[in-house]
Structure 1
């Protein structure tokens, strides 16, 4: 609710108001097909999936919590806001269809730059922005809700893994955390050495890790192939492998016996970054037939996934290379419930 007259504003006639901003945003995005209604009305009207359930996901990206705008651009924030939601679709074996994007931020926020990243991600994932909202706020927050569909007809849940299933990851982990570390190191060098220090401080080969942090990729094709080959449970690695494998195990009521931590082979990544860093958005899934998975990924021209262990019958078991699986990862903090 807008509380007039206390917060009323003069009508804008110079292009700095909300409606002018919406028109600029609309110009950055594709137009709807003839049978759908997107930006401009009180609600969007879109075609439902031809078959199977409608997937729904929502996520927030908050300045100072999920991104540091001293290290990444507004366009990177926009890209990430879409990617993290699309990754949730991928983790269900689905693909995205439509997005609603709500932006709250200071009046000086460069919406054009922000939406350049949003538009690029939506083009990458074939996900249309069909509506949203704009508001002023002290801190920039982008809230996105995405719809999706399951081409295979069924979503893959976290809760279907069975004892004996293999645990598989779609790629090496830790690059986002390593990229953030490289950016922080460069920023420290900037402060110590002047304007050119940051560029010199970025180690050779760190650019790929920095890109993984700035522009994470949702593994949509990998998720659909995993679902098609009989994945029994799946989750995206957003909070760190040590945390997310626990989420899958707890939901499925199984134990895990891991033989390896899948470090990214192309970057300088530590095991700690892979276990606890998060924001890799690779997919972790359980499957009874790992050979079928490897063959299907190869057939589709995808990177070979990495087998990291097995599910076990002891629901309390959390093992890594014969010892306890370390605890850690990302988790937001809230006040405990009153007693």
Structure 2
């Protein structure tokens, strides 16, 4: 694995620990884990075989996205990889290639792999911890939005969920169209918009978060943190549903369920003052309302609404059966 040394990595792999500089005086840190048969399958019901590169790419993408969601830039990451004895060395090499490929192709040009650890277990488990910098700026939290702000999206929603549905219940992978295979690609190799986070911070975003568990579930988290209501525009949502038609028509599924509840695209949900121009890559999809301002009688808690009506999708729950 040739990850190179980013500007923050003073000492990389080879010693007992890495040394990473923090020129800003602060470091953003996040950690995430993927477990075989919980977060990915080596062989899916439709015949798609997950490669080591797929797992490496996704491990990098979901962690880089968390730094992005704070308005930061990733500078270094470390990897812990637990493997059953039967896993081939070539799979591990492929994993390393996918990890580095994601860092480069997603645009995390200041990030490098500073080290890691290998262990033995009953299934494949990948944990990545990533460090980031704010370059002297102020972090964008979930709790800063205000009534009247514009709700905006960077990246995509619903596509990874559509890809997951094709993997789990669709026709054999050899029979899928290029558009359907692209949706599987969104599930196996998500594309977080890594340039968007720092741009949003610089533009004056009031709140922001990574959409990993679905637009409604994560939108409700942002709303609760700010004691507000996120009201989504139906027309904007239907535009997001359009690219999902190749899967929804095939599987006879309402694509709006994926738009509202599908996770793992790792887009950004952000809010901005209404009087500023949205930064490149962001599209307005709603507005922020005061608690009780748009909710029907009896629904006065924080949460997500669609044209003033409570949204009925709850999104992905990691601990549900």
Shorter-chain TM range is: 0.7 to 0.9
Match of 1:248 in 2: 222
Measured in 1, the distance between the counterparts of 2:98 and 2:232 equals 37
Deviations 1:51-97 (A, max 9, x none): 26310110001111111221422211111011101000010001100
Structure 2 vs 1, CA of residues 210 and 143 (structure 1 numbering), >3 Å: closer, same or farther? same
TM-score normalised per structure 1: 0.79
4+ runs deviating over 4 angstroms:
31-35
Match of 1:87 in 2: 65
Measured in 2, the distance between the counterparts of 1:154 and 1:81 equals 26
Deviations 1:180-238 (A, max 9, x none): 2222345xx44xxxxxxx311x1352122111111111222111111111111101110
Match of 2:92 in 1: 111
Measured in 1, the distance between the counterparts of 2:282 and 2:147 equals 23
Match of 2:267 in 1: 282
- Find the residue that maps to 2:209 and give its secondary structure: strand
Q: Map of 1:50-89 to 2, 5 A cutoff?
A: 50-51=23-24, 53-70=26-43, 71=48, 72-89=50-67
Structure 2 vs 1, CA of residues 256 and 102 (structure 1 numbering), >3 Å: closer, same or farther? same
Structure 2 vs 1, CA of residues 311 and 95 (structure 1 numbering), >3 Å: closer, same or farther? farther
What number of residue pairs does the alignment pair up?
291
Deviates more, 1:63-72 or 1:87-96: 63-72
Measured in 1, the distance between the counterparts of 2:155 and 2:102 equals 20
CA contact (8 A) 2:146 2:288 kept: no
RMSD: 2.3
Bigger strand fraction: 2
In the alignment, is residue 157 of structure 1 matched against residue 141 of structure 2? yes
Deviation of 1:30 after TM superposition, in Å, equals: 2.1
In the alignment, is residue 205 of structure 1 matched against residue 186 of structure 2? no
Deviations 1:272-331 (A, max 9, x none): 0111111111100111136411xx31xxxxx45232232324371532123211141112
Unaligned runs of 5+ residues in structure 1 are 1-24, 191-197, 298-302, 335-339
Q: Map of 1:24-43 to 2, 5 A cutoff?
A: 25=1, 28-31=2-5, 36-43=10-17
Match of 1:292 in 2: 277
- Find the residue that maps to 1:227 and give its secondary structure: helix
Match of 2:301 in 1: 316
- Find the residue that maps to 1:36 and give its secondary structure: strand
Match of 1:6 in 2: none
Deviation of 1:156 after TM superposition, in Å, equals: 0.4
